[in-house]
Amino acid sequence: MSAEISILIFDENKVRAAIIEAGLREAGHEKVAVVGEILGLVKRIETLQPDVIVVDLENPNRDQLEHFFQVSRSVKKPVAMFVDRSDSEAISAAVEAGVSAYIVDGLKKERVKPILDMAVSRFNAFHRLSRELDEARSELAGRKLIDRAKGILMRKRGLSEPEAYRLLQRCAMNENRRIADVAQSLISASSLLGDL
Amino acid sequence: MAKDAVHAGYLPLLDSAVLVVAARFGFAERHGVDLQIHRERSWAAIRDRMSVGHFDCAQMPAPMPIAMSLSHGPLTARTFAPLVLNTGGNAVTVGNELAAALADESPVDASPAAIGAALRFATARLAERNGRPLRFAVVHRFSGHNYDLRYWLAASGIRPDADIEITVVPPSLLPEALASGQIDGFSAGEPWNTIAVRAEVGEIVATKVEIAPRTPEKVLGVSEPFLIERQDVLKRLIAALIEAGRWCDTAGNHGELARLMADPRHVGVDSSHLLPGLSGNLETASSGGRAVADFLTFAKPGMSRPDPSFAAWLHRQMVRWDHSHRTPETDAIVRGVFRPDIFAAATGDDPGDRAAEAAFDTDRHSRLFDGGLSELSQD
Determine which of B168, B182, B318, B325 to mutate to test the interface with A (most A C-beta atoms within 10 Å). Answer: B168
Instruction: Select the residue of B44, B54, B172 nearest A62 (Cβ to Cβ).
Output: B44
Domain boundaries, chain B: 4-87+215-271+297-367, 90-213
Q: What is the pLDDT of residue B157?
A: 93
Among chain A residues, the shortest Cα distance to B49 is held by A95
pLDDT of residue A112: 85
A15 and A94 share a domain?
Answer: yes
The type of residue at B200 is: E
Distance in Å, alpha carbon of B170 to nearest chain A alpha carbon: 6
> Between A138 and B363, where is the model more confident?
A138
**pLDDT bracket for residue B315 (50, 70, 90):** very high
Report how far residue B364's alpha carbon sits from residue B313's, in angstroms, rounded to the nearest whole number: 11
Of A61, A95, A102, the CB nearest to B52: A95
pLDDT at A86 over 80: no
Instruction: Using pLDDT thresholds of 50, 70 and 90, give the confidence band for residue A163.
Output: very high
What count of residues does chain B have? 379
Is residue A17 a part of any domain in this protein?
A: yes
Strands A52-56 and B281-285, by their bridges, are: unpaired
Give pLDDT, residue B355: 58
Asked if B141 and A80 come within 8 Å (Cβ–Cβ), the reply is no
Q: How far is A132 from chain B (nearest CA, A)?
A: 24
Chain A residues with at least one Cβ partner in B under 8 Å:
57-64, 66-68, 70, 78-82, 85, 88, 91-92, 95-96, 100, 102
Q: Using an 8 Å Cβ cutoff, are A17 and A24 in contact?
A: no
The nearest CA of chain A is from the CA of B110 a distance in Å of 31
Q: Same structural domain for residues A88 and A15?
A: yes
pTM above 0.80, yes or no: yes
Q: Do B169 and A64 touch (CB under 8 A)?
A: yes
Task: Give the whole-angstrom CA distance, residue B148 versus residue B212.
Answer: 7
Domains B4-87+215-271+297-367 and B90-213 share a fold: yes
Contacts of B293 (CB under 8 A, 6+ apart): B209, B280
Chain B residues with CB under 8 Å of A66 CB are 44, 73-74, 141, 168
CB contact under 8 A, B49 and A70: no
Q: What is the pLDDT of residue A196?
A: 54
Sign of CA dihedral A15, A19, A21, A25: positive
Q: Which CATH superfamily is domain B90-213 in?
A: Periplasmic binding protein-like II (3.40.190.10)
Interface mutation target, options B11, B42, B166, chain A, most CBs of A under 10 Å: B42
> How confident is the model over B5-64, as pLDDT tens digits?
999 999 999 999 999 999 999 999 999 999 999 999 999 999 999 999 999 999 999 999
Question: Does the CB of B167 have a partner CB in chain A at under 8 Å?
Answer: yes
Residue B42 contacts A where some CB pair is shorter than 8 Å: yes
Cβ atoms A35, A44 nearer than 8 A: yes
Query: pLDDT, tens digit, for every residue of B152-183?
Result: 999 999 999 999 999 999 999 999 999 999 99
SS3 content of chain B, % helix, strand, coil (to 5): 50, 20, 30
pLDDT tens, position by position, B222-277: 999 999 999 999 999 999 999 999 999 999 999 999 999 999 999 999 999 999 99
Which residues in chain A have Cβ-Cβ distances shorter than 8 Å to B73? 66
Contact A70 B141 (CB under 8 A): yes
CATH number 3.80.30.20 given to B4-87+215-271+297-367: no
**For position B1, what pLDDT does the model report?**
52
Distance, in Å, from the CA atom of B278 to the CA atom of A185, rounded to the nearest integer, reads: 46
Is A115 among the domain residues?
no
Contact pairs from chain A to chain B, CB under 8 Å: 67
Inspect the interface and report whether the beta carbons of B48 and A81 lie closer than 8 Å: yes
Which residue in the set A67, A78, A96 is minimally distant from B74, CB to CB? A78
Per-residue confidence (pLDDT) for residue A132, from 0 to 100? 84
Closest by Cβ to A64, choosing from B40, B49, B168: B168
> Which among B49, B54, B140 has the least Cβ separation from residue A63?
B140
Report ipTM for this prediction.
0.87
CATH number of domain containing A28: 3.40.50.2300
Query: Residues A67, A103: one domain?
Result: yes
Q: Which residues of B touch A120 (CB under 8 A)?
A: none
The pLDDT of residue B374 is 37
Q: List the domain range (segments joined by +) for residue A155.
A: 134-192
Nearest by CB: B44 against A63, A68, A80 = A63
Q: What pLDDT is stored for residue B364 in this prediction?
A: 47
B96-104 and B112-130 helices cross at what angle (nearest 10)? 110
Average pLDDT over residues B187-192: 96
In-domain check, residue A177: yes
Residue B141 has pLDDT above 90, yes or no: yes
A64: nearest CA in chain B?
B168
Check B75 against A82: CB less than 8 A apart.
yes
Contacts of A81 in chain B (CB under 8 A): 48, 74-75
From the list A67, A78, A79, the residue facing B167 with the nearest CB is A67
Q: Considering only the beta carbons, identify the residue of B49, B53, B139 that sits closest to A63.
A: B139
Residue of A nearest to B323 (CA): A70
Question: Does residue A128 lie within any of the structural domains?
Answer: no
DSSP secondary structure code for residue B270 in this structure: -
Q: How far apart are CA B149 and CA B3, in angstroms?
A: 42
Contacts of B65 (CB under 8 A, 6+ apart): B79, B80, B81, B219, B221, B222, B337
Best of A38, A61, A63, A102 to disrupt the B interface by mutation (most B CBs within 10 Å)?
A: A63
Overall number of domains in chain A: 2
The pLDDT score that the predictor gives to residue A108 is 82
Residue A85, in any domain of the structure? yes
| B98 three-class SS | helix
Mean pLDDT of B86-94: 96
Residue B357 has pLDDT above 60, yes or no: no
Whether the pLDDT of residue B358 is over 90: the answer is no
- Give the full edge-to-edge strand order of the sheet including B164-168: B164-168, B134-138, B185-189, B90-95, B202-207
Determine, yes or no, domain membership for A1: no
Query: Which of B51, B75, B140, B183 to mutate: most A Cβ within 10 Å?
Result: B75
Residue A180 inside a domain? The answer is yes
Query: What's the gap in Å between the CA of A190 and the closest CA on chain B?
Result: 36
CB-CB under 8 Å, A102 with B44: no
Q: From residue B118, give the alpha-carbon distance in Å to each of B43, B103, B106.
A: 33, 8, 7
* pLDDT average, residue stretch A10-27: 91
Last-in-domain residue among A107, A142, A175 = A107
Sign of the C-alpha dihedral computed for residues A56, A59, A65 and A67 taken in this order: positive
Which ranges of B189-307 would DSSP assign to H, the alpha helix? Answer: 192-198, 208-211, 224-229, 231-249, 254-262, 275-279
A118 falls within a domain = no
